[in-house]
Structure 1
Amino acid sequence: MFDDAHLDLVLDIVKEAAGAEIRPRFRHLEDGQVSEKKSSIDLVTDADLLAEKFITEQLLERWPDALIVGEEAYESDRSVVGRLREAELAFVIDPVDGTFNFQAGLPIYGTNLAVVRKGETVAGLIHESVLGDTLLAVKGAGTHFLGADGRRNPIRVAGPVALSDMVGTISVNDLAYEEKRRIAGNLAKTKMAFGYNCSAYEYWMVATGKVHFIGHHSLMPWDHLAGVLIHAEAGGVTSRFDGTPYLPGDTSGGIISAPDKDCRDMILREVIFAS
């Protein structure tokens, strides 16, 4: 069984992994501890592999029948993503989201973890291991900032504004040149476009109201499930580009997160789909 009372235990596991496997390797990676997966910007480090192994083993020790969907484990068993729709209990993990930044020595990375029950995300956290702060959401109970110093504060998304006053980002790294150029050009309609190459930080920014919107074309669950719930419980609206909900197991269709439905539709119309 898993209930809200177990979230403190899950967060403790994530923090232990950060202390044992992630922080000690930040800015201390040696030759041979970083390798390419698909390209020079799609990387994996020893921190990714060992932190995922640590978290997976600790979760299975307590919930031995749970489905574990980790970004690195997916490379050896790609069936796990589809099984999210039916699993009684699943944990979805990205131990070091923002690996490119991590290996470059930039403190813009985080650990994503989502709890899924019977095809529904019921809890999510993003842990920022440099300062030790966390965003934690429980479905129906809001999103809270948990400071390393013990603070616990509710958070809210930004309010709706005109497109020309918005700050946000649409990730275009996986797109072909012409599509990339078109969307990047449309972002000039906003007040400022930014990019962190780290979905954990992007969801952190949009959920805490520091930016208005974020969007992605690639929908792997470890990048988005935790962040989407965190954003929704902070008052925001997220959907795929066609307006349908983003659910565990979805891997295509694009995704947009915004303050409300009208802002979402405006961004889709003026940025994503405008010629």
Structure 2
Amino acid sequence: MNIDRLAAILKQAAKQEIMPRFRRLDEGMIHTKTSAFDLVTEADTNAERLITAAILEHAPDTLVIGEEAVAANPALLTSNLEDRITIYVDPVDGTANFAGGLPLFAVMAAVVQNGEPVAGIIYDPMGDDFLMAEKGCGTWQVFPDGRRVRMKFADPVSLAEMGGAASTTYFPPEQRQVILGNLGKVRMLAGYRCAGHEYRFAAGGSLHFLAYGKLMPWDHVAGALMMRECGAHVARFDGSVYRPGDTDGGLLVAPDKDSWNELRREVFTV
């Protein structure tokens, strides 16, 4: 599917199903999945339904794997990605922010062909702009008026000067304690409860690292591709290449391999 057509579908879902519900959710429209930090709303389910139907209308042979569809049918997560085109969809990334009325959420999609990520989109409904990447073509911010700006990851700095974002929620408790202590070695730590916006922020050169303990493809396939396309070093904690089928092993993003190795050795000692 053409990336611009896919972007238009995400924008349509946001306009039709997400934004009309922002700060208008009644109590019965918000539900807990696995914890108080893992929520789903009517905006998530309705937007995913619209996105899936629109993709299949234009590309009926595509396998669409959405976050809420997997919640209902976990077997989808182990689908064979070879010899086909798969599109991962996160209808509302940052649902807890959305449900709490915080304007920091995104709509994301990643296109995988024969098991390899080839395109990614992160749409910000509040700013009405896109972060977009195609393999080998760089990462771009696309504004409502059509203006495009190429993104570049931050240049390397010393560990003591680094600022980044890390989601430590899904590390085992003993590892989380060590990592949180080690993060005192960097200058600044942030956590936005929205991987989409963390990837957007990093793509603009405003963060020196990103770290995640849990990998769901709708959260990270698009963002990892974007980070590579804007010059970052991206790998799982064991140094291996992150692939769409990976759901564990963590993910660490840094300006270059030397910075990655230093962060892995000094901070993320998992």
Give the shorter-chain TM-score range.
over 0.9
Residue 74 of structure 2 corresponds to which residue in structure 1?
78
Contact 1:84 1:118 (8 Å CA) reproduced: no
1:258 matched to 2:254:
yes
Contact 2:213 2:249 (8 Å CA) reproduced: yes
Residue 213 of structure 2 corresponds to which residue in structure 1?
217
Question: CA shift at 1:148, angstroms?
Answer: 1.9
Residue 245 of structure 2 corresponds to which residue in structure 1?
249
- Give the secondary-structure state (helix, strand or coil) at the position aligned to 1:170: strand
1:203 matched to 2:180:
no
Question: CA shift at 1:83, angstroms?
Answer: 2.0
Identity of aligned residues (%): 44
Distance in 1 between the 2:95 and 2:198 partners?
A: 14
Q: CA RMSD of the aligned region, Å?
A: 1.1
Distance in 2 between the 1:252 and 1:86 partners?
A: 20
Deviations 1:55-83 (A, max 9, x none): 00000111111111100000122222222
Contact 1:125 1:135 (8 Å CA) reproduced: yes
Distance in 2 between the 1:82 and 1:117 partners?
A: 16
List runs of 5+ in structure 1 lacking aligned partners: none
Letter of the 2:190 counterpart = F
Letter of the 1:18 counterpart = A
Residue 108 of structure 2 corresponds to which residue in structure 1?
112
Residue 130 of structure 1 corresponds to which residue in structure 2?
126
Distance in 2 between the 1:22 and 1:87 partners?
A: 33
Contact 1:158 1:209 (8 Å CA) reproduced: yes
Question: CA shift at 1:27, angstroms?
Answer: 0.7
List runs of 5+ in structure 2 lacking aligned partners: none
Contact 2:10 2:108 (8 Å CA) reproduced: no
Contact 1:84 1:248 (8 Å CA) reproduced: no
Contact 1:84 1:90 (8 Å CA) reproduced: no
Q: 2:31 aligns with which of 31, 35, 38?
A: 35
Letter of the 1:103 counterpart = A
1:101 matched to 2:97:
yes
1:180 matched to 2:184:
no
- Give the secondary-structure state (helix, strand or coil) at the position aligned to 2:201: helix
1:24 matched to 2:20:
yes
How many residues align structurally?
270
Residue 59 of structure 1 corresponds to which residue in structure 2?
55
Question: CA shift at 1:179, angstroms?
Answer: 2.0
Distance in 2 between the 1:69 and 1:43 partners?
A: 18
Question: CA shift at 1:170, angstroms?
Answer: 2.0
Alignment TM-score, normalising by the size of structure 1: 0.95
Distance in 1 between the 2:14 and 2:83 partners?
A: 27
Distance in 2 between the 1:14 and 1:69 partners?
A: 14
Distance in 1 between the 2:129 and 2:208 partners?
A: 21
Residue 161 of structure 1 corresponds to which residue in structure 2?
157
Contact 1:166 1:191 (8 Å CA) reproduced: yes
Distance in 2 between the 1:159 and 1:148 partners?
A: 28
Question: CA shift at 1:84, angstroms?
Answer: 4.9
Letter of the 1:188 counterpart = G
Distance in 2 between the 1:121 and 1:194 partners?
A: 27
Letter of the 2:106 counterpart = G
Contact 2:213 2:248 (8 Å CA) reproduced: yes
When residues 176 and 253 of structure 1 are mapped into structure 2, their CA distance, relative to the original with a 3 A threshold, is closer
Letter of the 1:38 counterpart = T
When residues 111 and 210 of structure 1 are mapped into structure 2, their CA distance, relative to the original with a 3 A threshold, is same
Q: 2:190 aligns with which of 190, 194, 198?
A: 194
Question: CA shift at 1:257, angstroms?
Answer: 0.8
Contact 1:84 1:116 (8 Å CA) reproduced: no
Question: CA shift at 1:150, angstroms?
Answer: 2.5
Q: 2:7 aligns with which of 2, 7, 11?
A: 11
Distance in 2 between the 1:85 and 1:189 partners?
A: 40
Question: CA shift at 1:181, angstroms?
Answer: 1.7
